Amino acid sequence: MELAHRLDRVQEPQTIKMAKLGRELRAQGANIIDLSLGEPDFITPEHICQAATEAMAKGYTKYTPVVGIPELREAICEKLKRDNGLDYTPEEIIVSTGAKQSLANAILCLINPGDEVLIPTPFWVTYGALVSLAEGSVKYLPCSIDTDFKLTPERLEAAITPQTKLFIFSSPCNPTGSVYTREELKGLAEVFARHPHVGIISDEIYEYINYQDNHQSIAQFPELRDRVIIVNGMSKGFAMTGWRIGYLAGPRYIVQACEKFQGQFTSGTNSIAQRAAIAALKGGLEPTRKMTEAFRKRRDFVIESLGRMPGVRINDPKGAFYAFPDISSFFGKSDGTTTIRNDEDLSMYLLHNAHVSTVNGAAFGNDQCIRISFATSMENLEAAMQRMAEAFARLA
């Protein structure tokens, strides 16, 4: 059968491709250290797993409302109040199969063919793919390492046109680890206040993995309250990637539109995982803080190690669990066998010669960099940094 043309709009994420390649090499006996993956290496805290076991024992094994069970939507509202000082009602929340589905719902509900969507780069790969699927037109706004990969109000102002429908960003950011401060968000919010036709998707999935300040949401500015869509979920902060619980908080009409879509695609997400998510949200943030502390130690080590490698430039990531070094100084260099032409060559060179799996920056909209995940053990990171330093040193 002929496949639908729609498929041409979507590519396999580079992150998944690199993980696959790494697995293949490992199966052939290579000792690959995988720094390509975007998931905590911790297992889900015990009390959350316990809540899932209890949910099964109590028979919570049936279909749930499409938007999620009322107790979970309430727990999300309590969390938004407790952690972010934001007032939402359960009717303004929809629970989905991961934050990824929340994003897909929102983008497919809002974007018509030709609508313009602004995305600062580097950005998380899925944003662009989903906008393409909705036949929207993406306008990327490149942000350089010199501004910690952050967008300035001036650049935002200059990019907005009458066709701009949406702005999508993440803070803390995957892949750069950059975190917008309250002041920086206020600067952007003032621009949005002058352009009431632009909606904002604020992806806050790395909220708790923040090494500096308390998390700040752009939804805190009252003038934007009716056009900010917060996307968040359990995957990163609670080490619950496999449970597939994400959510969206936003205006009621958008939640209702998402409900319509989700009702046809997947219905309510997993009933047991929803019960576990309540335990996670209500159970306090102690396990989350411990994990963040471990990420902080790894971050400090990785940033310091990369900083010492000649030819590598690095920003100072304040959140998430990624480093996004600029490695463009190696372009044109060779170890005598392989010549590095671009970011993809460098990522492949590291995979085959250092047995370290990374992701090339072009996959995130910046071909001068590579992404390194430090969501793995210190032991792995120490070995990986050593191998990378040696591999870089061989390039002349």
How many residues of this chain bind ligand PLP (CB under 6 A)? Answer: 13
Torsion angles phi and psi, residue 207, rounded to 5: -40, -50
Is residue 246 a contact point for ligand PLP (CB under 6 A)?
yes
Question: Among residues 93, 118, 205, 312, which is the contact residue for ligand PLP, using CB under 6 A?
Answer: 205
Q: Using the rule CB under 6 A, which residue among 14, 36, 38, 330 binds ligand PLP?
A: 38
119 near ligand PLP (CB under 6 A): no
Q: Which whole-number Å values give the CA distances from 234 to 13, 29, 142, 242, in the listed order?
A: 21, 34, 29, 10
Residue 124 or 211 with smaller CB distance to ligand PLP: 124
Among 170, 202, 274, 342, binds ligand PLP (CB under 6 A): 170
100 near ligand PLP, rule: CB under 6 A:
yes
Q: Is 241 in the site for ligand PLP (CB under 6 A)?
A: yes
**Of the candidates 88, 124, 364, 374, which one interacts with ligand PLP according to CB under 6 A?**
124
Q: Is 177 in the site for ligand PLP (CB under 6 A)?
A: no
Q: For residue 165, give the nearest of 119, 118, 124, 204 by alpha carbon.
A: 118
Q: Which stretch binds ligand PLP (CB under 6 A): 68-76, 92-100, 177-185, 346-354?
A: 92-100
Is the separation of the CB atoms in 91 and 142 below 8 Å? no
Question: Cα–chain-centroid distance for residue 393?
Answer: 31
- List binders of ligand PLP among 215-234 (CB under 6 A): 233
Least distance to ligand PLP, CB of residue 178, Å = 12
For position 98 contacting ligand PLP by CB under 6 A, the verdict is yes
User: Contact between 122 and ligand PLP (CB under 6 A)?
Assistant: no
What is the number of other CB atoms lying within 10 angstroms of the CB of residue 263?
A: 13
Which amino acid, one-letter code, is at 40? Answer: P
- Choices 98-106, 111-119, 287-295, 328-336 (CB under 6 A): range interacting with ligand PLP: 98-106
**Could you say which residues in the range 375-394 bind ligand PLP, by CB under 6 A?**
none
- In angstroms, the Cα distances linking 122 to 20, 159, 240, 326, 369 are 23, 16, 25, 12, 10
Binding flag, residue 203, ligand PLP (CB under 6 A) = yes
SS (H, E, C) 241-273: HHHCCEEEECCHHHHHHHHHHHHHHCCCCCHHH
Any idea what the Cα angle at residue 96 is, between residues 91 and 253, rounded to 5°? 35
**What is the binding site for ligand PLP (CB under 6 A)?**
38, 98-100, 124, 170, 174, 203, 205, 233, 235, 241, 246
